[in-house]
């Protein structure tokens, strides 16, 4: 394997390029029109355009990506996460092209991509499942039949899209009267988002935690599970903070979960990196949720507590190497790691996306801090893709120290030009329930709803005074900066004026 094409963008493309560079493997970036100046394009050895900005015209275009691979002579493809990472047709097309797909086989992607097939596989492996339907309920299944099945599952229950993910096509039903309407809405959402109206029913576990097990499988029959990740802090079913290990997982639960995850993977002959997701209830009972057949966004926290480079191992496995890692090491977390997903969203304005140009950026550093990002000053956060700016990861010897370190790093993080969720994380990491580790998958939505949109960090009077002083001194040092309406929306010009003025006045 001499040259890898990365079929992705943003921070994950950068992450993979870094691993390749460290392994002496050449890299090919692909990019849409607006991503021409993106960091992954600049860091790669080669780069190839794959189309206009809309994902379905570029990052989802299998033909364009394969053409880029042919043109550059790449011999392998890493899909990253999102986009085509869990697309069976893509994995198959890469293989048919004679290239190595750095991930599981198309067969494993297809099997685990169907939630009902995945549940069947888990059942065969003897892994506990949340009570629910075993076969998809296609559009042809009558309402009365669904009601009968629902009675067997029990209430409260969830209606979920078979091809769903990220909370799309998912509905909670607390009593039978709500069922038919909920199924209709879930079907229409799933049709629109995934082109498949099939749904299934699942008992809703009250106040569960979302715990997942990372694993690696090689082509020689070895499957190795890792210590768990705690992913219960979610906003609208999207993870925003992840930790490893979980405050709720005892060594006994950990051992049981890790073997269950490995059993699911072995049952389907799984290879490369994957993650088995579980719900953990308040009594310590866990249930198989689904398997993600890709590298996860939150993989760095596992790397931090085990010292294993997961992307490097993905590549080694794809090359046919044996997983000769010490299983005990993977099961034993060293210290504690936390990840905050920093988004270009305005937390004080209902988390609305805040795209725009990053005019200034300072990334935190120092002991135990890792910033996985595709952002640099001067770059525009485009409106076309996921607005993830950075994954900030803090590692320390225990959970309180990791939280304190994350707070320290958030305070150092400076992003000007766009709004980000950094102030929200400062707030969240100070909440008593978070500090006590008492969280569940609805925790964040509940606490956000109770705030009624109040700002997360309310400036103290002293801070307001400092802001006023700074703005006035800026006006003194660069009067023109405040003398303009800035109506042209060109902050760069304001900078020019300031710079010019500093020169004129001979200021430092």
Partner 1 sequence: MRYEVDVNGRVLRVDVHRADRHFVVNVDGHEWTIDAARVDPHTLSLLIGSSSHEVTLAADKTPGQLAVGIKSVPLSVSVNGRRKWGRRDDGAGGGGPQPLVAPMPGKVVRVLVKVGTSVYPRQPLVVVEAMKMENELRAKRSGIVTELLVQEGQSVDAGALLLVVSPE
Residues marked as catalytic:
294
Calpha distance 39→27 (Å, rounded): 13
- Output the smallest distance, CB 342 to partner 1, in A: 11
Exposed / middle / buried, residue 70 (Cβ in 10 Å: 0-12, 13-18, 19+): middle
Calpha distance 47→490 (Å, rounded): 29
**Residue number with CB closer to partner 1 (27 or 426):** 426
List interacting residues with partner 1 (CB under 8 A).
Answer: 348, 356, 359-360, 410-411, 413-417, 419, 422-423, 425-426, 457, 459, 463-483, 485-487, 489, 491, 494-505, 507-508
| Phi and psi at residue 478, to the nearest 5° | -150, 75
- Output the smallest distance, CB 341 to partner 1, in A: 15
Measuring CA to CA, which residue among 489, 484, 469, 413 is closest to residue 498?
484
Cis peptide before 156 (omega within 30 of 0): yes
Q: Which residue has the tokens 């290239």?
A: 99
C-alpha distances out from residue 449 to 199, 442, 452, 453, 458, Å: 28, 11, 6, 8, 18
In sequence order, the β-bridge partners of residue 234 are 239
Exposed / middle / buried, residue 203 (Cβ in 10 Å: 0-12, 13-18, 19+): middle
Buried b (16+ CB within 10 A) or exposed e, 207-235: ebbbbbbbbbbbbeebbbbbbbbbbbbbb
- Output the smallest distance, CB 381 to partner 1, in A: 13
Are 274 and 213 in contact by the 8 Å Cβ rule? The answer is no
H/E stretch holding 77 reads: strand 76-78
- Output the smallest distance, CB 144 to partner 1, in A: 53
- Output the smallest distance, CB 15 to partner 1, in A: 24
- Output the smallest distance, CB 451 to partner 1, in A: 17
């Amino acid at each position: 394997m001499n040259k890898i094409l990365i079929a992705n963008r943003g921070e994950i493309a950068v992450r993979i390029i870094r691993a390749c560079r460290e392994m002496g493997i050449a890299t090919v970036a692909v990019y849409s029109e607006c991503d021409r100046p993106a960091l992954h394009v600049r860091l790669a050895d080669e780069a190839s355009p794959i189309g206009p900005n809309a994902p379905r015209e570029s990052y989802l275009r299998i033909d364009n990506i394969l053409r880029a691979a042919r043109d550059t002579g790449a011999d392998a493809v890493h899909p990253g996460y999102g986009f085509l990472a869990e697309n069976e047709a893509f994995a198959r097309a890469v293989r048919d092209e004679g290239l190595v797909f750095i991930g599981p086989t198309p067969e494993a992607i297809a099997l685990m991509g169907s939630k009902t097939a995945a549940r069947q596989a888990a059942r065969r492996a003897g892994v506990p499942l949340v009570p629910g339907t075993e076969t998809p309920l296609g559009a042809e299944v009558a309402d009365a039949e669904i009601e009968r099945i629902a009675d067997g599952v029990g209430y409260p229950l969830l209606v979920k899209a078979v091809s769903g993910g990220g909370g799309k096509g998912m509905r909670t039903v607390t009593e039978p009267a709500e069922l038919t309407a909920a199924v209709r809405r879930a079907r229409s959402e799933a049709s629109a988002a995934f082109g498949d109206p099939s749904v299934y029913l699942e008992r809703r576990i009250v106040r569960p935690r979302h715990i997942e097990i990372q694993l690696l499988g090689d082509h020689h029959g070895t499957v190795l599970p890792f210590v768990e990740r705690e992913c219960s802090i979610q906003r609208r079913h999207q993870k925003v903070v992840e930790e490893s290990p979980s405050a709720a997982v005892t060594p006994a639960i950990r051992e049981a979960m890790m073997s269950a995850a490995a059993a699911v993977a072995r049952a389907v002959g799984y290879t490369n990196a994957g993650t088995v997701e579980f719900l953990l209830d308040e009594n310590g009972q866990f249930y198989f949720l689904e398997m993600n057949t890709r590298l996860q966004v939150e993989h760095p926290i596992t790397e931090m507590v085990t010292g294993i480079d997961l992307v490097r191992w993905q590549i080694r496995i794809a090359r046919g190497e044996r997983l000769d890692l010490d299983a005990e090491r993977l099961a034993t977390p060293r210290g504690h790691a936390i990840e905050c997903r920093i988004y270009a969203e305005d937390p004080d304005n209902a988390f609305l996306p805040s795209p725009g140009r990053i005019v200034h950026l300072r990334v935190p550093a120092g002991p135990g801090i890792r910033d996985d990002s595709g952002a640099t000053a001067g770059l525009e956060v485009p409106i076309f893709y996921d607005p993830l700016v950075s994954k900030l990861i803090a590692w320390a010897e225990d959970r309180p120290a990791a939280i304190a370190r994350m707070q320290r790093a958030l305070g150092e993080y400076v992003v000007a030009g766009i709004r980000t969720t950094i102030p929200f994380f400062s707030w969240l990491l100070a909440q008593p329930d978070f500090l006590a580790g008492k969280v569940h998958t609805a925790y964040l939505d509940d606490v956000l709803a109770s705030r009624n949109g109040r700002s997360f960090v309310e400036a103290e009077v002293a801070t307001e005074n400092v802001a006023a002083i700074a703005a006035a001194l800026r006006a003194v040092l660069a009067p023109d900066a405040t003398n303009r309406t800035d109506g042209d929306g060109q902050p760069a010009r304001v900078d020019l004026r300031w710079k010019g003025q500093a020169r004129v006045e001979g200021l430092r």
